[in-house]
Structure 1
Amino acid sequence: MSFQSKPLWQRFLIFLLPLMASNILQSLSGTLNSIYVGQLVGVDALAATATFFPIMFFLLSFLIGLSSGSTVLIGQAWGAKNIDKVKQVAGTTLATAFVLGVLVAIVGVIWTDQILSVLGVPADIAPITASYARVMLGCMPGFFLFIVATSVLRGVGDTITPLFSLLLSLAVGLVVTPALILGWFGLPQLGVIAAAVGSIAGFLSVLVFLFVYLRVRNMPLAPDGKLWAAMLHPDFALLGLILRLGLPAGLQMVVSSISGIVVVGLVNRFGSSATAAYGALGQVMSYVQFPAMSIGIAASIFGAQAIGAGKSDQLGAITRTGLVLNLLITGPLIALAYLFSQHLVALFITDPEVIDVAETLLHVVLWSILAFGGSVVFSGIMRSSGTVIAPMVLSLICILCIELPGAIVLSQTSMGLTGIWVAYAASFVMMFVLQGCWYRFVWRKKTITALV
């Protein structure tokens, strides 16, 4: 039986499982770095890497939007079997990502200290945070290419190659990071910077692998003459369409990251132990949140391909499949995280007091990721048709009117640190309600047409 003739839920799972594994591996890479840093360097070093995370998230925001816009167009072009258009979109996106990466590297390295000052980084971890940040920021051009390359591959239905890529990245990091922390093989001991160097070595290895592997296998997005031509001479009209689709998602990510920076500032007021707990909490949550996000990404790509193939009548079934899989996959993961919460947090932290804080906060917010997963299915399927403004506005309402003010106000009450995560949970629930209502009562009534 061919792939297209299989039932929708089977095709969804075949596409989804490698995508979920890839996102989990991507999270695992950061997790292992955090374990190495927390166990081999110390709590201050872990707090330094946790403080840098919202900066990275902020800098990646427009890139994520760019990838979102290009994936919709690639999915529609692939569904229409227009390979030349697929390569035009991919080449234009890769070129834009590289230029953005260069700009981010220049600005980020020059103003590292000012950025950390705005965050209110505790004085005891400011120097090591700055050294870690400068190394990471300086290598953004390569990292941006790595993110976009794996994203465009998913647009043509390939989730296996990105999985291989992340396995390679993880394997390289598993060796390089501890080697540079402990000074194996006669290498210098770099402390917290070793985590940054390990990440860089991983994504550079992947870029080399993709260049060779895609050409040897003669795959649709292999770097051939057409793709190079599209990269060297980007189609600016096409770029405008990509940005029109992607910038709302990027803006949403920017606002979310700014909110995250404010939250880190709130957390930092409770001391470096609270910051370390925040870092451990983020790592554990990502394992539940990334699979939920993967389901939303899969729904968006399946929706785009259906629209490109002229089969818009399948969009309702794709949405229902995504929602059911969110319940069947994200739900059990949440239950397991509750059951083993203390052991999970202890992977990153050795201080018993900090472990208790992180576990308590995890219990407050973890359940709401199920609602978050449902919201990204609704927003993803709407974005597959080019409807990007409404999902963005609804998400911003939740961030700016519930999450951020709630975190600020509740953290100043008797709830203290716990109040921040109560606000997160309330925001996720309202996001699900609003996205679902817009999908049901507004989006389903519009006429769906392909964009390319």
Structure 2
Amino acid sequence: MTSINKMKEMPIRKLLLSMSLPIMVSMLIQALYNIVDSMFVAQYSQDALAAVSLAFPIQTLIVAVSVGTAAGLNSLLSRKLGEQNFKEANEVANHGVLAALLSGIPFMIFGIFFAQTFISAFSDRSTIISDGTTYTLICTVCSSAVLVEIAYERLFQATGHAMYNMYMQGAGALINIILDPIFIFGWFGFPAMGVTGAALATVTGQILAVLLGIYLQRRHVKELHISFRGFHLKKHIFAQMYAVGFPSIIMQSIVTVLTIGMNAILVGFSETAVSVFSVYFKLQNFVFMAVFGMNNALVAIIGYNFGARQKERILSSIRFAIQMAVLIMLIGTLIFQLFPQALLQLFNADAAMLKIGVPALRIISLSFLFAGVSIELSALFQALGKGISSLMISLCRQLLIVLPCAYLLARFSELDSIWYAFLIAEAFAMVIALFLYRKIKISMIDPMEHSL
């Protein structure tokens, strides 16, 4: 169980970096192929980019359920491993994979019956409605692949095998990037399928990533045995998983509400403004995913050491994680400040898109440093089973403050001023996160008797 022992014994900085880097790389690859997907679609046509942008909220909702379910799995599994309770750890792993698989069914139903209605709510142009509906349908029907893929990522993280995340995500991303131009533009004798081709390339990469993840787990991760032979459903395991997972789902779903709300506000200015916001979100994911990669490793490390009653390792982990997050966010801010036009040109931006997008990227990126602190503190709350605290931070960051501010700024000012809503929201959320951290530290961490 050497991979488990290192969670308790390896120096914190080395442990966090060794676990975070593979996760960061895999998530950066994920962000990269999302960007590449939109880049190819933008080369096909601006209408195609608009169609994919309108489908983006549904994709974020799928990811929300994936990440939330996996967060509950990661938190509970890490604690069971920290307690050396391997029998229950296996039961948790089986329930987590099953939960991920079944969670795809509602999305499949939505895609089949309601995709067109959703896209039509934001556009009356027939080409955008047709392309957006098809893209949404394909992504939702195959959504179980994303859900199971992220569940397996958390299994690897909790057992200290985070390197396999990189293999799994890398394989899926590579397949997607290779297939994108082939399917979209009709290379090598394939028909040019446009947006449909982009969706098919995406889900093909996801399905192959899942298959690789299953293989790697069975072949190399001996700590867990995932099998549904003789499986007995235990409601209390689902209850414990979703005590953290459900608030995390709501927390992640806020991104969907934010995107829908911002689209509704921005479409009053132009469809180009909607495309700019979608492009920004995919670009900022490239920065944020690095921080979220460390966040995911931090949940496993803190969860394990909380179960093992290792106070100093918990405190050292959160301090170092915040330092690294601030550094990453600072680099991201500088890139957005110095090269906004070059970033937008990746998406074949015309003059109208540049006029809106350049100030948008510069203004919103000012909020990155505040977000880095909030995100890492949220990881601590998740690891300690305080999902509601994580939910409160995300509500402040991405809903309760930003949308009302954006709405008011849109009514009484010009388009450029809307982007300041993100800066206001992130600063406020960081203050709340620091307040909640102080309370949780006093009540749960400081009383621990054993420390290294």
- TM-score with structure 2 length normalisation? 0.92
**Local SS of the residue matching 2:412:** coil
> How far, CA to CA, are the matches of 2:160 and 2:152 in structure 1?
13
> How far, CA to CA, are the matches of 1:195 and 1:239 in structure 2?
35
> How far, CA to CA, are the matches of 1:165 and 1:132 in structure 2?
24
* 1:16 CA displacement: 1.2
> How far, CA to CA, are the matches of 1:294 and 1:332 in structure 2?
16
For 1:47-446, what aligned pairs fall within 5 Å after superposition? 47-119=50-122, 125-221=128-224, 223=226, 227-229=227-229, 232-416=231-415, 418-440=416-438, 442-446=439-443
The answer as to whether partners of 1:301 and 1:384 remain within 8 angstroms in 2 is yes
* 1:290 CA displacement: 1.4
Superposed CA deviations along residues 359-382 of structure 1, whole A, max 9, x for unmatched, are 210000112111111001112112
* 1:28 CA displacement: 0.6
Superposed CA deviations along residues 111-151 of structure 1, whole A, max 9, x for unmatched, are 11222234456555222111111111111122221122212
Superposed CA deviations along residues 380-405 of structure 1, whole A, max 9, x for unmatched, are 11221111223323432454431110
> How far, CA to CA, are the matches of 2:306 and 2:240 in structure 1?
17
For 1:29-44, what aligned pairs fall within 5 Å after superposition? 29-39=33-43, 41-44=44-47
Q: In the superposition, relative to structure 1, how do residues 279 and 259 fare at CA in structure 2: closer, same or farther (>3 Å)?
A: closer
**Local SS of the residue matching 1:447:** helix
% same residue? 21
* 1:436 CA displacement: 0.7
> How far, CA to CA, are the matches of 2:389 and 2:318 in structure 1?
17
The answer as to whether partners of 1:303 and 1:381 remain within 8 angstroms in 2 is yes
Q: In the superposition, relative to structure 1, how do residues 157 and 356 fare at CA in structure 2: closer, same or farther (>3 Å)?
A: farther
> How far, CA to CA, are the matches of 1:73 and 1:57 in structure 2?
24
> How far, CA to CA, are the matches of 2:48 and 2:329 in structure 1?
31
The answer as to whether partners of 1:120 and 1:265 remain within 8 angstroms in 2 is no
Q: Which amino acid in structure 2 is aligned with residue 436 of structure 1?
A: L
- TM-score with structure 1 length normalisation? 0.92
Q: In the superposition, relative to structure 1, how do residues 234 and 369 fare at CA in structure 2: closer, same or farther (>3 Å)?
A: farther
Q: Which amino acid in structure 1 is aligned with residue 199 of structure 2?
A: A
> How far, CA to CA, are the matches of 2:278 and 2:197 in structure 1?
18
Please list every run of at least 4 consecutive aligned residues from structure 1 whose deviation after the TM superposition is greater than 6 angstroms.
none
> How far, CA to CA, are the matches of 1:215 and 1:430 in structure 2?
45
The answer as to whether partners of 2:115 and 2:137 remain within 8 angstroms in 1 is yes
Q: In the superposition, relative to structure 1, how do residues 184 and 274 fare at CA in structure 2: closer, same or farther (>3 Å)?
A: same
> How far, CA to CA, are the matches of 1:90 and 1:267 in structure 2?
42
Q: Which amino acid in structure 2 is aligned with residue 334 of structure 1?
A: T
> How far, CA to CA, are the matches of 1:187 and 1:81 in structure 2?
53
Q: In the superposition, relative to structure 1, how do residues 331 and 222 fare at CA in structure 2: closer, same or farther (>3 Å)?
A: farther
* 1:432 CA displacement: 0.9
- Runs of at least 5 residues in structure 1 that lack an aligned partner in the other structure: none
Superposed CA deviations along residues 62-115 of structure 1, whole A, max 9, x for unmatched, are 332211111101111222233322221111011111111022201232111222
From 6, 17, 42, the equivalent of 2:21 is: 17
The answer as to whether partners of 1:46 and 1:279 remain within 8 angstroms in 2 is no
> How far, CA to CA, are the matches of 2:407 and 2:89 in structure 1?
45
* 1:215 CA displacement: 2.5
Q: In the superposition, relative to structure 1, how do residues 303 and 336 fare at CA in structure 2: closer, same or farther (>3 Å)?
A: same
Q: Which amino acid in structure 1 is aligned with residue 363 of structure 2?
A: V
The answer as to whether partners of 1:36 and 1:178 remain within 8 angstroms in 2 is yes
Superposed CA deviations along residues 163-204 of structure 1, whole A, max 9, x for unmatched, are 001110111112211111222232221111111111111011
The answer as to whether partners of 1:280 and 1:349 remain within 8 angstroms in 2 is no
> How far, CA to CA, are the matches of 1:189 and 1:83 in structure 2?
51
> How far, CA to CA, are the matches of 1:121 and 1:58 in structure 2?
23
> How far, CA to CA, are the matches of 1:159 and 1:354 in structure 2?
39
The answer as to whether partners of 1:108 and 1:137 remain within 8 angstroms in 2 is yes
> How far, CA to CA, are the matches of 1:391 and 1:309 in structure 2?
23
Q: Which amino acid in structure 2 is aligned with residue 266 of structure 1?
A: I
> How far, CA to CA, are the matches of 2:163 and 2:139 in structure 1?
27
* 1:293 CA displacement: 2.1
Superposed CA deviations along residues 282-308 of structure 1, whole A, max 9, x for unmatched, are 222111111122232222221101112
The answer as to whether partners of 2:104 and 2:143 remain within 8 angstroms in 1 is yes
